[in-house]
Amino acid sequence: MPLRCFLVILSVLIGPLAQAQQVLRLYDGKAPGSESWTWEEAENSTNMFKTRVVYNVSTPTLTAYLPSADLATGTAVVIAPGGAFHTLSIDSEGIDVAKWLAAKGVAAFVLKYRVVRSMTNDPVAELTAKMADFKKLDAENAPVVPLAIADGKRAIEYVRQHAKEFGVQSDRIGLIGFSAGGTVTMGVGFAYSPANRPDFLAPIYPYLGAGAIAKQVVPTDAPPLFVCAATDDQLGLAPHSTKLYNDWIAAGKSAELHMYLKGGHGFGMRKQNIPTDTWIDRFGDWLKLNGYLTKVKP
């Protein structure tokens, strides 16, 4: 049975709003560059972040959340959760975003990209102990960041290769990423090939330190950009978002910026009873304005 048919049937059985899921491996065999990794992916829900995180990802995957046929717009979004390249905030910056998008008719794919190996079953505690020194953290992350960006490129390419099966248009495939996932998003957005070029980019409070992405030049055919962050980002990353926006418009490219007064770092889909609670609606407005919520047959 074709993949698309299987997922549509499963969606009908489970519910009308794209609760259909399938985990899709991005590579045949071991992922290039990490062939020697032998550790197993795991989860932790009892940590200082007070949210479920995935860690020790060595086999990159996409989890598909496809909209029902009557809602499908033909647009797709790959979602890269954050977690400082040590964890993935899989719910607030992954699955919750995917479900919201699927309800709008957008095929959503949560990306589990490769991260630094954790040596305990509490990766958040390990990470927190390292965050006082970003230079050291960058140095530890350095071997893994290119692998994570490669996973982002492969994810776009994979969805494009299977566009008909997923019921999407091959020229309506975007990439959204949070924090380190924003690094992945812009790592793809600064350097891509025709096969893995995102059709739009949405870095949300991205980390764009030179230690993570050394070369940050706006491409001549740069995709439209949606940027969102909070001024009171406790990691001091707000200027990363404003610089990215300024660089895009200075190059004459399409860009929209939402910089909230409050929200901190990592707000994702969490509810704080402040305006950042509705940032996803602004992203939806932007998708609609750019025609990505208009139905197009694959």
* Architecture of the domain defined by 22-289: 3-Layer(aba) Sandwich (3.40)
| Interatomic CA distance for residues 194 and 189, integer angstroms | 12
CA separation, residue 257 to residues 133, 228, 295 (Å): 28, 6, 25
Contact between residue 58 and residue 14 where contact means Cβ atoms under 8 Å apart: no
DSSP letter assigned to residue 41 = P
DSSP letter assigned to residue 39 = P
At residue 42, the 3 state secondary structure works out as: strand
Mean pLDDT, consecutive 10-residue stretches, the chain (298 aa), reads 44 42 94 97 89 96 97 98 97 98 98 97 92 91 98 98 97 98 98 98 97 96 98 97 98 98 97 98 98 86
| Interatomic CA distance for residues 210 and 230, integer angstroms | 21
pLDDT tens for residues 172-200? 999 999 999 999 999 999 999 999 999 99
Query: What phi, psi does 251 have (nearest 5°)?
Result: -85, 5
Task: Quote the pTM value.
Answer: 0.93
Q: What percent of the chain has pLDDT over 90?
A: 88
What is the CB neighbour count within 10 angstroms for residue 129? 9
At residue 167, the 3 state secondary structure works out as: coil
At residue 245, the 3 state secondary structure works out as: helix
For 285, the token pair is 């407005």
DSSP H or E segment with residue 4: helix 3-14
pLDDT tens for residues 130-162? 888 889 999 999 999 999 999 999 999 999 999
Residues contacting 42, CB < 8 A, separation 6+: 54, 55, 56, 121
Residues contacting 109, CB < 8 A, separation 6+: 24, 62, 63, 64, 65, 76, 77, 78, 79, 98, 155, 159
Domain ranges of the chain: 22-289
Across the strands, what pairs with 203?
Answer: 177
| Interatomic CA distance for residues 84 and 229, integer angstroms | 16
What is the CB neighbour count within 10 angstroms for residue 44? 19
